[in-house]
Amino acid sequence: MGFYDLIFWLFAFISVASAALMVFSKNVIYSAVGLLFAFFGVAGIYVLLAADFLAIVQIMIYVGGILVLLLFGVMLSHKIGGIQLETGTLNKIPAFIVAGGIFIIFFRVINKTVWPLRTTAKEFNPTVEKIGTLLMTDYLIPFEIVSVLLLIALIGAAYIARKERVQ
Amino acid sequence: MPVLNIYVTIFQTFPDKIPDTILTILLMLAGAVGITVLAALLALVGVYLERKISAHMQDRLGPMHVGWHGVVQTLADALKLLLKEDIVPAAADKKLHLLAPFIVFSATIAAFVVLPFSKTLVLSKLNVGIFYVVAISSFVVIGIILAGWASNNKWSLLGGMRSAAQIVSFEIPASLSILVVIMAVGSLNLGDIVEFQNGGILHWLIWKSFPFNLIAFIIFFTASLAELNRAPFDLPEAESEIIAGFHTEYSGMKWAIFFLAEYANMFLVAVIASTLFLGGWSSPFGNFLNYGIFSIFWLFVKSFSLIFIQMWLRWTLPRVRVDQLMYTSWKVLTPFAFLCMIGVGFYMIF
Amino acid sequence: MTIGLTHFLTLSAILFCLGLFAVVTKRNAVTVLMGIELIINAANINFIAFARFTDNDLDGQIFAVFVIVAAAAAAAVALAIVLNLYERLKSINLDEADSLAG
C-alpha cells in the first residue's frame, strides 16, 4: 500500500472514530474532545487533497476559534452543582434508520455516478498565492460580503450574550 | 551534517529490501523523536538558565551544589519528578486529566518541525510554515482549558479560562505583526523568509520599512510573552492569587510535562522572533561564517538573547491585572499592529 | 486500490450522517451545535475533493474558505443564543425550551 493510501486511511480513521466519540458519548466534554480530533482528522484529509492553506485555516479557525467557543459555552452553562452533564437521547431508533438510509442513498449515488474526472496529472502545488489572487479578483464581492457578515455576527453575538440588567 | 549522511547511506544501502513506505515512515518517526529530544533538552537548559539568571538578578547564587555551578541540577530535578507519586484528585476526570498535558506538549513540539536551523537543516520545508506555527499553537489553548476543567477545582477552572482568554486575545496582535513580515517577504515559507534577510545585519527585516517593522517586533514580543503565560502577564499562574492556576492539581511527571512545554514554547517563540525579524540563521557580518554549523550558532545566539530578555522582564516587572491585560491587548496592541500593517503597505506601494 | 474521488465522498457521507444523527438525537443545545459543525465539515470535504479531482481548478477551495467563515459566524451567534437561553431557563436542555409550543 502506498504512503498516500496509508495516510488517507489513518486520517479517515481518526476523523470517523472521533466523530463517533462525539456522537455517542454522554459527557459533553468528551464530545468536545471528539470534535477536536475530528477537526484535526479533516485537516489531514485537506492536506491529502492538496489544499495546504485550507488545512491550516481549518485548524486555526475551527480548533483555535470555534472549539474554544464551544468549550467556553459548555463551561459557562454548566450547573454549579458539580453534576456531570448528561445528555438524554430519545428518538434513537428512527434517527438511526433515517441517518442509515441517507448514508445508503449517498453510497449508491457516489458509486453509480460517472464523475467528470480531470484527465491531466495531479500535482501538489502550493495554493496560498492562487487563493489570494482569486479572492482579490474573481471572488471580490463574496469576500467583502463575508467580511460584513463577520462584523454583523461579532456585534450581534456580543449584544445577545450580554447579561440582562436586573431592573 | 554527518547525521544526515548516515540516513542517506541507509537509504542507498537497502533500496530493494525495505519497501519505500516503511522507510519513509521510519525516517519520519526518527525525525519526530529527534525533534522531541531537542525540544526537551532545550527546555532543560532553559530551566537552568532561568534559575541562574533570576538568582543573579536577585543578588544570590542559585543552584551551585549539583555539578559545577549547578549545571546538572535540572537533570536531578527531572529524575526526581519521574519518580514522584502521581496524585489525581478523587472527583477529577481521569481521562481528561491524563490527556491535557499531552495535548499541550505535543502541540508545542509539533511547532518545532518547521524551524530552520540552517540552510539545509530543517525537518520539514512547509510552504505555509509560519502560518502552521500560529495554527498549532492554538491547540495549547484547548489543552489548558481541559486541564483546568479536569481538575474539578474552582481555582483550576478559573485559571484555565483566564489563560485561554488571555492567549486567544493576544493571538490577534501576534498574528498581525507576523503578517507585517509576510507582506515584505511575500512567502509563508520560513526558509524563504531567512533567505530574504541573508547578507548581514542591515538586511534584517527589523530595519526594513522603518519604524513599522520595529514596532511590529515589539508587538510580537509582548504578545508572545502573554501567550506563554509569562510575567508580567502570568495571571493564570499567579502564585499569590489562584495557587497555581490550571496546573494546581498536577504532580509528578504530568506537571513536569506542563513545565517542559512552557519552556519549550519559550524557546519556540524566541526562535520564531529571531527568524522573522532578526535574520534567523544568517550571520550578522554578511558572508563571514555564514555556513554549516555556524548558522546554528548564530540562531542560538539570537534566540538566547531574546530568552534572556524574556527572563529579565519576568523578574523585573510586576504582574498586570486582568482588565489591564485585556486593555493592553485590544486597545493598545491591536490598533498599533493594524497601523504597522498599513504603514508597511504604504512603504510597499511608494 | 488507489484512493480516488469516491473514497473522499464516502468519508464525507459518513461524517454527514454522524452529524445528522447528533443533531436529531441530542438534547443538549451545545451538542446539537457540534453536530451542525460536523455536517459543515463534511460538506467542505466534498467541495475540496471536487476541486482536486475535476477540472475546476480552485473554485472548490474558495467556496470552502467562505463556508468556514460562515460556519464560524453561525457558531458564534448560536452560542450567544445558547448563553441567553441558559440565563432565562437555567438549563440548556432543548426539551425545556418549549414555551412557543402549542
pLDDT of residue B133: 93
Helix axes B2-13, B20-57, angle to 10 degrees: 170
pLDDT of residue A145: 95
- Counting one residue from A and one from B, how many pairs have CB atoms under 8 Å apart? 73
Residue B264, min C-alpha distance to chain A (Å): 20
Through-space distance between the first and last CA atoms of chain C, rounded to whole angstroms = 55
Kindly state whether C84 is in contact with chain A, defined as any CB-CB distance less than 8 angstroms: yes
> What is the per-residue burial (b if ≥16 Cβ within 10 Å, else e) of B45-67?
bbbbbbbbbebeeeeeebbeeee
CA distance B199 to B207: 13
* Cβ–Cβ below 8 Å for C20 and A99: yes
pLDDT band at residue C98 using 50, 70 and 90 as cut-offs? confident
Q: Do chains A and B touch by CB distance (3+ pairs < 8 Å)? A: yes
B183 contacts: CB under 8 Å, gap ≥ 6: B341, B344, B345, B348
Kindly state whether A125 is in contact with chain C, defined as any CB-CB distance less than 8 angstroms: no
CB B57 within 8 A of CB B316: yes
CB C43 within 8 A of CB A121: no
pLDDT of residue B1: 47
- What pLDDT tens digit does each residue of chain B (350 aa) get? 455 555 566 666 666 666 778 888 888 899 899 999 999 899 989 999 999 998 999 888 888 888 888 888 888 888 888 888 888 887 777 888 889 999 999 999 999 999 998 888 888 888 898 999 999 988 999 999 998 888 877 777 888 888 888 899 999 999 999 999 999 888 889 988 998 888 888 888 888 888 899 999 999 999 999 888 887 787 776 655 556 667 777 777 888 888 889 999 999 999 999 999 998 888 888 777 777 788 889 999 999 999 999 999 988 888 888 888 889 899 999 999 999 999 999 988 88
* Cβ–Cβ below 8 Å for A110 and C69: no
**Residue A89 phi/psi, 5° resolution?**
-125, 135
Instruction: Please give the residue of chain B at the shortest CA–CA distance from A29.
Output: B146
Cell numbers placing A152: 454583523
CA dihedral of residues A55, A59, A60, A65 (deg, nearest 10): 140
**Interface probe with B: pick from A57, A58, A71, most Cβ of B within 10 Å:** A71
| Fold designation for A3-124 | Four Helix Bundle (Hemerythrin (Met), subunit A) (1.20.120)
Q: What is the mean pLDDT of residues A113-128?
A: 81
Note the CATH number of domain C5-93.
Answer: 1.10.287.3510
pLDDT of residue A82: 44
pLDDT, chain C, mean: 90
B150: exposed, middle or buried (C-beta count within 10 Å: 0-12, 13-18, 19+)? buried
Q: Do chains B and C touch by CB distance (3+ pairs < 8 Å)? A: no
User: Which of A58, A77, A135 lies nearest to residue C86, judging by beta carbons?
Assistant: A77
* Cβ–Cβ below 8 Å for A68 and B142: yes
C53-84 tens-digit pLDDT: 888 778 899 999 999 999 999 999 999 998 88
Residues of chain C positioned with their CB less than 8 A from the CB of A90: 25, 27
Q: Hey, where are the domains in chain B?
A: 72-349
**Interface probe with A: pick from B18, B29, B127, most Cβ of A within 10 Å:** B127
Kindly state whether A18 is in contact with chain C, defined as any CB-CB distance less than 8 angstroms: no
Kindly state whether A135 is in contact with chain C, defined as any CB-CB distance less than 8 angstroms: yes
CA distance A7 to A59: 18
Kindly state whether A72 is in contact with chain B, defined as any CB-CB distance less than 8 angstroms: yes
A125-163 tens-digit pLDDT: 888 889 999 999 999 999 999 999 999 999 999 898 877
Bigger pLDDT: A3 or B19?
A3
Kindly state whether A99 is in contact with chain C, defined as any CB-CB distance less than 8 angstroms: yes
As for the ipTM of the complex, it is 0.91
| C-alpha R_g of chain B | 21
Q: What is the DSSP letter of B320?
A: P
Q: Which helix (H) or strand (E) holds B120?
A: none
Kindly state whether A33 is in contact with chain B, defined as any CB-CB distance less than 8 angstroms: yes
Residue type, B55: A
* Cβ–Cβ below 8 Å for C66 and A150: no
Rounded to two decimals, what is the model's pTM?
0.90
Touching chains, C (3+ CB pairs < 8 A): A
Q: Is the pLDDT of residue A81 over 50?
A: no
Cell numbers placing B197: 534577510
pLDDT of residue C89: 81
